[in-house]
Amino acid sequence: MSGWVAVAGLGPGDEALVTPEVTAALAQASDVVGYFPYVARVAPRPGLTLHGSDNRVEVDRATHALRMAAEGRRVVVVSSGDPGVFAMASALFEALEARPAEWQELEIRILPGITAMLAAAARLGAPLGHDFCAINLSDNLKPWALIERRLKLAAQAGFAMAFYNPRSKSRPHQFARALQILRQECGDARLISFARDVSKPTEELTTVTLGEATPEMADMRTVVILGNPDTRRAGRHVYTPRRAE
């Protein structure tokens, strides 16, 4: 097959954080597929067709991309951050499993990007400097009971944690419950950072203790990073030592 699909991460927002590999793929593409706000970040040009779609249709979007590639087109599926972190790479392979076997012969590339978790950590200092985990707090694709279990176990294991999709208008109460669980397991003194619109002009960084944290500090444009028991301040920065004490 002459067509191909690349699933590309556009980074957290600043165009300077888009990798040269992704820029090159976009320059070669005949079609770009993605959620409306992400497609809007791609500059139009002759010979390029932009296919924006709504949220929560990831598998349909991936199927559309695969179909166009099977027809010989050069397709880039765009995600924010990194496409393999709570994003479109998994959706593409889900779609691929359910489609004609010959589609599995397509050239498929996953092009990494700087995910919001790593961009936020860099702006804060080095809060993920030791063992850490990432948890998506949205229960759209998994039950809330599973999220609560993972929060408790990760806290008991002493991980630093990065939280994606902490709080939305449709589920404002769940982040309050997450904070309650974290206080029960970690105590009130643990440092927690809120990084909103990282790398954009509207960027906001806030670090408080768990005891001071409120649900209103987070929304869907916020990455939340909870330190481990050793995480501390160093001037205006937050970091986690490389050695566990």
State which of 114, 130, 154 marks the end of a domain: 114
137 with 106, same domain: the answer is no
Phi, psi for residue 123 in degrees, rounded to 5? -70, -35
Q: Which residues of 141-167 are buried (b: 16+ CB within 10 A; e: fewer)?
A: eeeeeebbebbeebbeeebbbbbbbbb
Antiparallel, parallel or unpaired: β 31-35 and 49-53: parallel
Both tokens assigned to 30: 């005949």
Could you give the C-alpha distances from 126 to 46, 52, 179, 233, in angstroms and in order? Answer: 43, 35, 22, 10
Same domain, residue pair 107 and 123: no
Residues 233 and 123 in one domain: yes
Q: Identity (one letter) of the amino acid at 116?
A: A
What pLDDT was estimated at residue 88? Answer: 95
Contact assessment for residue 113 and residue 77, using Cβ atoms and an 8 Å cutoff = no
Angle between helix 173-186 and helix 144-156 axes, rounded to 10 deg: 30
Each residue's pLDDT tens digit in the chain (245 positions)?
689 999 999 999 999 999 999 999 999 999 999 999 999 999 999 999 999 998 888 999 999 999 999 999 999 999 999 999 999 999 999 999 988 888 888 999 999 999 999 999 999 999 999 999 999 999 989 999 999 999 999 999 999 999 999 988 778 789 999 999 999 999 999 999 999 999 999 999 999 999 999 999 999 999 999 999 999 999 999 999 998 76
Q: Which pLDDT belongs to residue 1?
A: 63
Residue 244 maps to a domain: no
- Tell me, yes or no, whether 123 and 96 share the same domain: no
> Residue 160: which CATH number?
3.30.950.10
Would you say residue 245 lies in a domain?
no
Residues 61 and 142 in one domain: no
32 with 82, same domain: the answer is yes
Same-domain pairing of 39 and 134: no
Q: Which domain holds residue 191?
A: 117-239
**Residue 4 CB: number of other CB atoms within 10 A?**
18
Same domain for 155 and 180, yes or no, is: yes
Residues whose CB falls within 8 Å of the CB of residue 192, separated by 6 or more in sequence, listed in order: 182, 207, 208, 209, 210, 213, 224, 225, 226, 227
| Number of domains forming the structure of the chain | 2
Q: What is the pLDDT at residue 243?
A: 86
Q: What CATH number is attached to the domain comprising 106?
A: 3.40.1010.10
Report yes or no on 25 lying in a domain. yes
